[in-house]
Amino acid sequence: MAKAQKGLSEQVAALNALREQPDTPDAQAALRQALQATRAPLCAAAANIIAEAELSGFEAALLAAFDYWIEHDKPAKADPGCAAKTATVRALYRIGARTHGAYLRGVRCVQLEPIWGGSQDTAVELRGLSALALVRTGYFDALVEVAELLADPEPMARLAAVQAVAYSERQDVGVPLLRFKARLGDADSRVLAACLTGLLSLAPDSSLELVESFIDEDKPETAEAALLALGESRLPAALASLRRAAETLISQELRSVAFVAMGLLRSDAAWDYLLAVISDEPPAQAGLALSALGTYRRVDSLRTRVMAAVQKRGVPALIAKAEKLFNAED
């Protein structure tokens, strides 16, 4: 392993300067040398540049660097924050390397580091990236490893596992896994939201009813996750679920989320419904629909229709709100 001649910060800065032209012979030589460094920030900087530029020809060097850091006898001291290990796996993932052995070690890596009052696992991102890499590169037992990660103690690792299941596009295994995880629930609402989004992606027709069943006013975070998953799905059939929610929910906060989700559908039918709310429903609800459409103020035809609707209705507060939302500068 090469020894540093300059100060560490200078060397990292010099590597980062290579981002402008990372594919020149001199830049690639410098990146190879940095991958052999015994100081984690240098290796991590080089690997990050390779990942960003998706440079070919570095698979062996990245794998050797990963092996060095994963086998280090003092990992927390040598590679704090798992920076080098995570960066090398990210680069291998980005260049599509089928280095399944490295990904398997990464998905199972736990690195506890001391913090005030206890310890912190800094290998969470590494596990998530490794799971995605196993799926992307077609490892035959990828979803077995991902299923293990669904029960990880760290929420961001569980989130990555859910995303990896959806990315697999495997209905036969992915749908049962995500359904089970969704019904089991999660302490972190982001994980549940990803489950519902993944189900709508993998099996839209059979998942709509399931996702709608999570719209429960007694569990507002769960309901919000379900509403937004329906909107982000961009499925035309999701509008019916969102309309039912908007028309039956008592909570103004959740009704507002339902309107936002309708806007996310970006369909004429959804926007027609929100315009009808602006035209005909009580001012409080009309204001919520206005807010939901405000995100799309750059759509000229929509802005024209919104302004015409509030002007025709003639409620000063709604006119003022529409003027503020639809004439605002970014």
* pLDDT values of the chain reduced to their tens digit, one per residue, 330 residues: 444 456 899 999 999 999 999 999 999 999 999 999 999 999 999 999 999 999 999 999 999 999 999 999 999 999 999 999 999 999 999 999 999 999 999 999 999 999 888 899 999 999 999 999 999 999 999 999 999 999 999 999 999 999 999 999 999 999 999 999 999 999 999 999 999 999 999 999 999 999 999 999 999 999 999 999 999 999 999 999 999 999 999 999 999 999 999 999 999 999 999 999 999 999 999 999 999 999 998 899 999 999 999 999 999 999 999 999 988 665
Does 239 share its domain with 274? no
Whole-number pLDDT of residue 138:
94
d(CA 127, CA 112): 13
Q: Does some domain include residue 22?
A: no
Please indicate, yes or no, whether residues 231 and 273 belong to a single structural domain of this protein: no
Residue 310 domain flag: yes
User: Which pLDDT score, from 0 to 100, does residue 202 have?
Assistant: 96
- The full DSSP string for 180-241 is HHHHH--SSHHHHHHHHHHHHHH-HHHHHHHHHTT--TTSHHHHHHHHHHHHHHT-TTHHHH
Residue showing tokens 């549940």: 192
Considering the domain boundaries, does residue 41 fall inside one? no
- 12 HSE (CA, 13 A, CB side): 12
Structure tokens at 57: 């020809």
Domain boundary among 229, 244, 259: 244
Coil, strand or helix at 111: coil
- Tokens encoding 218: 């007694």
Q: Residue 56: inside a domain, yes or no?
A: no
Task: Provide the domain limits for residue 184.
Answer: 170-244
SS (H, E, C) 53-103: HCCCCCHHHHHHHHHHHHCCCCHHHHCHHHHHHHHHHHHHHHCCCCCHHHH
Find tokens 């989700």 and name the residue.
261
Q: What is the pLDDT of residue 6?
A: 67
Domain contains 176: yes
Asked, for residue 78, whether it belongs to a domain, the answer is no
In a domain, 113, yes or no: no
Rg of the chain (C-alpha set): 25
Same domain as 280, residue 237: no
Between CA 314 and CA 214 the distance in angstroms is 38
Question: What is the reported pLDDT for 326?
Answer: 87
Among 185, 210, 244, which residue terminates a domain? 244
Tell me if 38 sits within 8 A of 77, measured CB to CB. no
Domain boundary among 244, 277, 301: 244
Q: How many domains does the chain have?
A: 2
**Residue 46 maps to a domain:** no
